[in-house]
Amino acid sequence: SAVISQKPSRDICQRGTSLTIQCQVDSQVTMMFWYRQQPGQSLTLIATANQGSEATYESGFVIDKFPISRPNLTFSTLTVSNMSPEDSSIYLCSVGGAPDEQYFGPGTRLTVT
Amino acid sequence: QKEVEQNSGPLSVPEGAIASLNCTYSDRVSQSFFWYRQYSGKSPELIMSIYSNGDKEDGRFTAQLNKASQYVSLLIRDSQPSDSATYLCAVTMIKAAGNKLTFGGGTRVLVKP
C-alpha cells in the first residue's frame, strides 16, 4: 500500500486562526479523502478531494470552513478556517485502493485554545 | 438508527482466547466491508476486507459476512495483549460515490495476560 505522510503531526492554535494540513502520498492515487476524528469518537468523512476540481463535501461540512486543494495525484491540503475549540480533533487523510479499500495517513492532532 | 453499529465495549478477553466482534449495518445493498484496528494515538490500520458472504481468514483474523442479516463480524484467535486496540467496522454504502466509507463507533478490545 502507499506511504502517506501528513504535516504537521500536531499543532496548538488560537481560536479565530486557520491551519493548513498537508497530505503527501508516495505514488499517484485517484481517490483522496479527509476525515475528522473527534476525541473518543469514530471517523467522520469531511470531503473527497478531487484532482483538478472542487472537493465534494459531506453533509455538515462546507468549503468556507474546510477548503481543500488537490493540485496533483500525490498531494492534497485541508485548511481548517476560523477555528474554534470545537474544531479540536484529529484530522486524517486517506487514499483509495482497490476495490474500495482506504489507507490512512498518520493524522494531525489539532488543539484549539 | 445509525448506519453502522458496533458495541462500544470494552470487550475483555483473556490472553489466548477468541475475541468476537460484531457489526450491523443499515443499507441492505452495501457492497464492501472492512475492519480497521486503531491503537490509542494512532491512525486506523486496515486488517481485513470482505466482499461476499461467508468467512475470510487471514492469520489469526477471520471476518464473517452475512448480507441477508446485514451483519459482519471479526474473530481474533489466540488473542494477544498486542491486540488490545479499538476495532472499527467500515462499510461502503451503495448510494455513495467512489470509495466512501461509513464507520461504526468502534469496539474497544482489552486482552488481559
A62-113, pLDDT tens digit by residue? 999 999 999 999 999 999 999 999 999 999 999 987 778 899 999 999 999 9
Return the minimum-mean-pLDDT range out of A86-100, B8-22, B41-55, B75-89.
A86-100
Report CA torsion sign: A42, A45, B30, B65: negative
Q: Is the pLDDT of residue B1 over 70?
A: no
Strands A10-13 and A108-112: parallel
Among candidates A71, A72, A70, which has minimal Cα distance to A55? A70
| Spatial distance between the Cα atoms of A9 and A14, rounded to a whole number of angstroms | 17
Q: Is the pLDDT of residue B96 over 90?
A: no
DSSP lists the bridge partners of residue B21 as B74
pLDDT (0 to 100) of residue B97 = 56
Return the minimum-mean-pLDDT range out of A7-11, A46-50, A76-80.
A46-50
Specify the 3-state DSSP secondary structure of B67: coil
Binary contact (B105, A41; C-beta < 8 A) = yes
Number of neighbours of residue B41 by Cβ within 10 angstroms: 8
pLDDT (0 to 100) of residue A54 = 86
Per CB-CB distance under 8 Å, the chain B contacts of A101 are 32, 34, 46, 49, 99
Question: A100 CA to chain B: closest CA distance, Å?
Answer: 5
Residues on B contacting A at a C-beta cutoff of 8 Å: 31-32, 34, 42-46, 49, 51, 88, 90, 92, 97-106
Interface of A with B in 20-49 (CB under 8 A): 31, 33, 41-45, 48
Per CB-CB distance under 8 Å, the chain A contacts of B98 are 31, 48, 96
Q: Compute the count of residue pairs across chains A and B with CB atoms less than 8 Å apart.
A: 55
CA atoms within 13 A on the CB side of B79: 22
